[in-house]
Amino acid sequence: MGTVLEAEGLVVGYAGAPVCGEVSASVEAGEVLGIVGVNGAGKSTVARTLAGRQAALAGDVKIHGLLIDPDAVPFRRQVSAVFDDDLFFPSLTVREHLLLIARGHSLDDPEASVEEELEFFGLQGRAHAIPDALSSGQRRRLLLAAGLIRPSSLLILDEPEQRLDPRMRVALGERISGHAQSGGAVVLVTHDPALLLATASTCLVIDEEVREFDPEQGALIIAGS
């Protein structure tokens, strides 16, 4: 189906200092790459670099064979990313946030798509609330709804299970798997073993050396150092 994401010799970090080992990985259409590791290992830094939200210290990241360019419209059209520090427009309601995204990405029926997301994430009763009036868990569900409502060939999720109840975690896993089954690629940073096992095709263990893990074979392979 084709390679969606390819990272080669990627070094990530801050002020010239790497936070983990060198990353080389690829994600094909239909695959879910899980990224795991202890707190502070550099998982989110890797994900943010893959999403073009911070510059790499070394190496390349390509989406559909092209170097990432977060300022380019084609890149923004292909990549949807959800991070914990994403911001809201303070004066827009939940429904207005989702409508803005749905219309901006030219969905065929934006109103119906918004209603589906509100129902899926249990936000119907808060559709007219502004973000500051939401609970922490509701804001998390709004972020996820905003990331999932729009089309993308690459979905990057940074610990999406945070502040979700067990039922919603299961439902989210089904959405992630569905995105891959429909031909998308997913990069999933998670601390939830159940979510990882339910969705991931392969995993990267982020540490001083980056290792690749095959959940089906139970094998751990050195991928970089």
| 154 closest CA partner among 192, 174, 182 | 182
Domain boundaries, position 84? 3-222
Q: What is the CATH number of the domain that holds 52?
A: 3.40.50.300
Using 50, 70 and 90 to split pLDDT, how confident is the model at 152?
very high
pLDDT digits (tens, 9 = 90+) for 31-88: 999 999 988 889 999 999 999 999 999 999 999 999 999 889 889 899 999 998 778 9
pLDDT, residue 208, reads 66
Give CA 143 to chain center in angstroms.
Answer: 11
CB distance 114 to 162 below 8 Å? no
Dihedral (Cα; 189, 76, 86, 113), 10-degree rounding: -90
> How many domains does the chain divide into?
1
Stretch 193-207: mean pLDDT: 93
Structure tokens at 59: 């190496």
Q: Which amino acid is at 51?
A: A
Strands 211-214 and 219-222, by their bridges, are antiparallel
Stretch 178-186: mean pLDDT: 97
170-to-5, 80, 95 alpha-carbon distances in Å: 26, 21, 24
pLDDT digits (tens, 9 = 90+) for 114-151: 999 999 999 999 999 999 999 999 999 999 999 999 99
pLDDT, residue 189, reads 97
CB distance 172 to 201 below 8 Å? no
pLDDT, residue 224, reads 33
pTM score of the predicted model: 0.91
pLDDT, residue 210, reads 63
pLDDT, residue 66, reads 92
Place of tokens 């990267």: 204
